[in-house]
Structure 1
């Protein structure tokens, strides 16, 4: 009798749920009809992951495992489970109403994750490790910018209350000129002046170091982003930071996104239905990944200032009576559609490596080439270096150079 029960247990379909933390993870197992079977706690080590998987498999055939924090505390377990062939599903934390109703604990959250995997409420595949390096570089570059901004603000605050001689000499300077002057100074004078100048010099040197650090990180980030998705990076208005943010939001595996509408909703750029009774309307989405929404916003601003098609579109919408805020909202939705295509399909980027050698062989300056096409020399320079994608201009430029 006991052997028969064990055989039934091994043959049944079960679903797992994982509530992950820094040092431990809690595993819960439920049957295919939602019944609670067992739960246990394991350490976030290789041995703990192996024991957790053995615990899951001991209760039957594991159909799917819902994991909270697949890209953070649960990343190690997720990698191990996927290598073992398990179907892992990314699970968001329970909504607040349910949490207030049933409370919160590790077993409760683990069972909730298992139920989310069983019911289909959670269905997204976890992000793979393809963009782990991009995420690390992006976070480091962002933190360098934040630290640099904090140091610049501190310089301004110190100068506000500094002795009059120091404030008169350095307070009128701005930007890089002020930073360079403060980094070069040699503190002298009375004790107060020496202390203030020493602080200002230290802050200025910190700003310069962080600036160099950010440039190096951005260069490395640009190389990784371009290698991972050259079509996305070559799209007009998409720089290293915005491309990295969109890749981090979407994940390296394109199967996580079902449609361009779901990606727009993920970025908070899709209008949300807000109808009731006789009212039929949509409202602006305040959800989604706000960092990705900010990336779409920056792309929209770049295109509004430098892309002829976008400028024509803005003119038409302005004539139609739309405000600038409404136009940007429409642009972000259209850009999200374009970014989805770049993230999910391989986009062929025509090479431009031949343009600069060809121009130099004809002894044509950047200024002369830019004057012929009616653009700024920087536009031609970035086109030659592959930093700007404009296929029509590139073809026309190549043909002109060959005929020159």
Structure 2
């Protein structure tokens, strides 16, 4: 009779040049530890050391930050990786016994302990399109900052060449016209004009790169079948950033959790009979900035967002308060659209079977970490009750699921329930 192989958790504390790991069992007993470099030799040595435990789960802290390179390398090699947020790991360190000093080995132990005690950690998956979206979005943001700096330097030079003729929103065409109208004769003026010409050439080059990056982002967003750009104020850049940062939308239980993650949900600051809320500075600030861009775009155009903003202003709210209310509504709209896109993708992939889904595992020992990429209709919250119609996991108790079908209503995919008189009795 073969002995059952115990599943182990490998807690990882990643850094740029080194990685510290700790291997623990299901009862949090330490089975091994080590420190390795992040180069090829160190990574190969770490993989060779981990082969002692065939059934292993890698728990990486901060897989969207410092741990992203290591997590991506592990996923490309077919390893099973889960993401451990920094806050639960910090709580484990705080309430752990001992000296409570923060070291790499202590951090790895805390990450492994969180992975053992938590069964709802996000399972990572290798998605080349999302990785490309993230890199292109970061690249475009860097180019945008570079363009702003170039325009500032160019405007400073033009203000000295042509006093009193500075443009607030300078374009390349206006800059070329202004440079063509000036012919300085002294050496300082000629040097200033030459530097301005070089800055203008750099501005033209940066704008061409920004345009190319935007086109690439739009093509990838459309290729993924996302309909985020159907929302007012959401362009290719905003849609790409949302898809890259959100990843799997089913990791958010409802729209309130999503709004808390985006920083658009106000914090309760009530005291006694006084009911008030204050601005939240928490959450993903990049996502909050993208939603702010969408809100300002809706206010400038004739949209429902502008009508909602004016209605809030008429109720006595200040401009910033009204914008925050609009940002919350946009956050809810983005969450609904992401949910509909995921539902449509799940319906299209329903015939592939467990083996057709990415990162699907047939090993029952890994049932404590359900793969978030294997989606069913029961995994999505009901838009009417905001509750899930079925369990998310491998529970075996009988459940009552919603009956109906996904149908197209214009450009949106909505859920159409069956007529009650035509429903068949559910099995026990």
Q: TM-score, normalised by structure 2?
A: 0.68
Deviations 1:8-36 (A, max 9, x none): 9x844432211112232211122333343
Residue pair 1:91, 1:122 contacting (<8 A) in 2 also: no
Inter-partner Cα distance in structure 1 for 2:168 and 2:287: 36
Inter-partner Cα distance in structure 2 for 1:278 and 1:247: 41
Q: Does 1:248 align with 2:244?
A: yes
* More moved, 97-106 vs 134-143: 97-106
Deviation at 1:334, TM superposition (A): 1.7
- Distance of aligned partners of 1:75 and 1:246 in 2 relative to their CA distance in 1, 3 Å threshold: same
Matches within 5 A, 1:199-210: 199-210=195-206
Counterpart in the other structure of 1:75 = 68
Inter-partner Cα distance in structure 2 for 1:292 and 1:301: 14
SS of 1:102's equivalent in the other structure is coil
Matches within 5 A, 1:346-385: 346=341
Deviation at 1:150, TM superposition (A): 0.4
SS of 1:345's equivalent in the other structure is helix
Residue pair 1:231, 1:342 contacting (<8 A) in 2 also: yes
Deviations 1:21-60 (A, max 9, x none): 2232211122333343332122335564454344345357
Counterpart in the other structure of 1:352 = none
SS of 2:12's equivalent in the other structure is strand
Matches within 5 A, 1:122-161: 123-126=121-124, 128-129=126-127, 130-160=129-159
Counterpart in the other structure of 2:334 = 339
Question: Rg bigger for which structure?
Answer: 1
Q: For this pair of structures, how many residues does the alignment match?
A: 338
Q: Does 1:328 align with 2:328?
A: no
SS of 1:65's equivalent in the other structure is strand
Inter-partner Cα distance in structure 1 for 2:43 and 2:263: 35
- Distance of aligned partners of 1:181 and 1:24 in 2 relative to their CA distance in 1, 3 Å threshold: same
Counterpart in the other structure of 2:37 = 43
Deviations 1:334-375 (A, max 9, x none): 211111122232288xxxxxxxxxxxxxxxxxxxxxxxxxxx
**Aligned with 1:318 (options 313, 330, 336):** 313
Matches within 5 A, 1:152-301: 152-160=151-159, 162=160, 166-168=161-163, 171=166, 175-176=170-171, 177-181=173-177, 189-251=185-247, 253-275=248-270, 281-301=276-296
Residue pair 2:93, 2:110 contacting (<8 A) in 1 also: no
Deviation at 1:121, TM superposition (A): 9.0
Inter-partner Cα distance in structure 2 for 1:285 and 1:34: 36
SS of 1:131's equivalent in the other structure is helix
Inter-partner Cα distance in structure 2 for 1:279 and 1:121: 39
Inter-partner Cα distance in structure 2 for 1:219 and 1:112: 43
Residue pair 2:71, 2:81 contacting (<8 A) in 1 also: no
- Distance of aligned partners of 1:321 and 1:190 in 2 relative to their CA distance in 1, 3 Å threshold: closer
Deviation at 1:279, TM superposition (A): 5.5
Deviation at 1:153, TM superposition (A): 0.9
Deviation at 1:97, TM superposition (A): 11
Between Structure 1 and Structure 2, which shows a larger proportion of helix residues? Answer: 1
Residue pair 1:18, 1:25 contacting (<8 A) in 2 also: yes
Counterpart in the other structure of 2:373 = none
* More moved, 34-43 vs 146-155: 34-43
Inter-partner Cα distance in structure 2 for 1:222 and 1:239: 8
Root-mean-square deviation (Å): 3.5
* More moved, 269-278 vs 27-36: 269-278
Residue pair 1:66, 1:114 contacting (<8 A) in 2 also: yes
